[in-house]
Amino acid sequence: MSECLVVGGGVVGLSIAYELAGRGRRVRVIDAAQPGREASWAGAGILPPAGSHSDEPLEQLAALSNRLHAQWWEHLRDDTGIDNGFRRSGAIYLARSATEARALQTLASVAHRRHIVVEPLSQESLREIEPAVRPRGGLEAAYYAPTECQIRNPRHLKALLVGCAQRGVEVLPGTPAEDFEIRDGRIEVVVTPAGRLSADTVCITTGAWSGALARKLGLTLEIKPIRGQILLLSQPRPVLSHIINESSRYLVPRPDGRVLVGSTEDDVGFDRSTTAQGAGDLLHFALGLVPELGNSQLERSWAGLRPATVDGMPYLGRVPSLDNAFIAAGHFRGGLQLSTGTAVVMSQLIDGETPEVDLSVFRVDRLSHDSPAPQASKTRPAVSLG
Ligand SMILES: Cc1cc2nc3c(=O)[nH]c(=O)nc-3n(C[C@H](O)[C@H](O)[C@H](O)COP(=O)(O)OP(=O)(O)OC[C@H]3O[C@@H](n4cnc5c(N)ncnc54)[C@H](O)[C@@H]3O)c2cc1C
């Protein structure tokens, strides 16, 4: 049984650890702080529908991930007793301006080409299925996406941590990777304040922080943090039953009456604070769509740092100059969704199998100057985003 060291315990690292351990690997995860408390905890947990008929690797990865989420929910619930809240709540996509309506129409035709069910909604049908939605300024267009799902991130991360422990994964919080010792084309040692750790394989999954670590391996990753703020409102009883999307903003209703309002995209470096401007914009958006939310309790707000890449695609692959180093990072607004598929394809790669999704477009040196540009388009972000 060979050992794999996963550096970074967000949803991507923990999912890879869970999958590798399920394949019989001995796995250790180190995290600079508490695992599962960064972007992965902060996310809204939207799992947008993905097309089963697509030749685009990012779309294939999303479709694989969606299939796996339904299975992992059951496995994790049965094995750990923790229900991560996975459910098919469906989503409504709204447009209040002509420009937004045109963008929605394009989105609907992309969805149709991908065999994703998206139906136009009349004002009357909208009122019937979501009576609390009364868009200020009127409605230009609306669509219904019945297969959109959601999970509750903190519960999913808790389930993953327990599932990992049950599979024998050792998780070390407060253990940042600070440097690497490289010999004969391999990472021989990962240097941490707790000591020098060695493993047969090292997989770096440090989200928005991955650029600095990759530089220590002689690799340039074009990855940076983009802050997303969220507000949590609560009502004594649910006022919404579907996820409501408008442009890059959304309302995510939970069955207990809570509603997540997200999210901003702030290019402010590694700053996780919430701002009055961010909260004000999100409240304006929420009350402009669902006036009844004005009576809700403002429970809390938070922010997380999405790992954004310049071309909108994650880095998934082996570090070309090293035999035993892998990277899975840069999932931006889709990391919760893509985590299950990422875990499976990275485990296949690490185990020397051919990954079931072609990973060449995600290769980690694709943006370096002496590497040819990737061929695949990045049209995936057509449906909702976290
Ligand atoms: C507001 C918001 C809403 C979102 N909504 C959605 C959504 O609805 N659906 C969706 O699919 N996605 C959503 N996302 C995106 C998703 O959360 C991210 O893409 C995903 O969490 C990235 O996971 P990760 O494991 O790569 O990174 P992270 O969760 O950030 O984990 C990285 C880990 O690495 C650790 N680390 C950093 N440096 C080191 C080091 N040197 N050594 C060891 N450990 C280190 C950190 O402590 C952290 O635990 C949202 C994100 C935000 C912020």
- Long-range CB contacts for residues 364-372, cutoff 8 Å, separation at least 24: 364/214, 364/219, 364/221, 364/315, 364/316, 364/317, 364/318, 364/319, 364/320, 364/327, 365/219, 365/320, 366/311, 366/315, 367/220, 367/221, 367/222, 367/310, 367/311, 368/219, 368/220
Q: What is the pLDDT of residue 370?
A: 54
| Cα-to-centroid distance, 313 and ligand 1 (Å) | 15
- Counting atoms of ligand 1 from 1, which one is nearest the CA of 205? 26
Q: What is the pLDDT of residue 378?
A: 38
List all residues 6 or more positions away from 325 whose beta carbon is below 8 Å from its beta carbon: 186, 187, 201, 202, 203, 204, 217, 318, 319
- Counting atoms of ligand 1 from 1, which one is nearest the CA of 250? 8
- In the chain, CATH 3.30.9.10 covers 91-146+224-309
Q: In what order do the strands lie in the sheet with 179-183?
A: 179-183, 186-192, 195-197
Q: What is the pLDDT of residue 371?
A: 54
Q: What is the pLDDT of residue 367?
A: 81
Which residues of the chain carry a pLDDT beneath 50? 1, 372-385
pLDDT in tens, 42-94: 999 999 999 988 899 999 999 999 999 999 999 999 999 999 999 999 999 99
| Cα-to-centroid distance, 250 and ligand 1 (Å) | 19
| Cα-to-centroid distance, 208 and ligand 1 (Å) | 7
Q: Which protein residue's CA is at the shortest distance from atom 20 of ligand 1?
A: 335
Question: Can you identify the CATH homologous superfamily of domain 91-146+224-309?
Answer: D-Amino Acid Oxidase, subunit A, domain 2 (3.30.9.10)
- Residue 7, strand partner residues: 30, 204
| Cα-to-centroid distance, 169 and ligand 1 (Å) | 20
For ligand 1, which residues put their CB under 6 angstroms from it? 7-13, 30-33, 35, 38-40, 42-46, 176-177, 205-209, 213, 228, 230, 262-263, 304, 306-307, 329, 331-337, 386
Averaged pLDDT of the chain = 94
- In the chain, CATH 3.50.50.60 covers 3-84+153-223+310-362
169 close to 22: Cβ distance less than 8 angstroms: no
- Counting atoms of ligand 1 from 1, which one is nearest the CA of 230? 1
Distance of CA 250 to the CA centre of its chain: 15
- Counting atoms of ligand 1 from 1, which one is nearest the CA of 226? 53
| Cα-to-centroid distance, 219 and ligand 1 (Å) | 21
Q: What is the pLDDT of residue 383?
A: 43
Q: Please give the Cα distance from 63 to 60 (Å, whole number).
A: 5
Q: Which protein residue's CA is at the shortest distance from atom 3 of ligand 1?
A: 43
Q: What is the pLDDT of residue 381?
A: 43
Q: Which protein residue's CA is at the shortest distance from atom 5 of ligand 1?
A: 386
Q: What is the pLDDT of residue 53?
A: 81
| Cα-to-centroid distance, 42 and ligand 1 (Å) | 8
Q: Which protein residue's CA is at the shortest distance from atom 13 of ligand 1?
A: 386
145-161 residues labelled b (16+ CB within 10 A) or e (exposed): beebbbbbbbbbbbbbb
| Cα-to-centroid distance, 302 and ligand 1 (Å) | 14
CATH architecture designation of domain 3-84+153-223+310-362? 3-Layer(bba) Sandwich (3.50)
Q: Please give the Cα distance from 78 to 159 (Å, whole number).
A: 10
* Residue of 37, 206, 215, 224 to test ligand 1 pocket, by largest number of atoms within 8 Å of CB: 206
| Cα-to-centroid distance, 31 and ligand 1 (Å) | 12
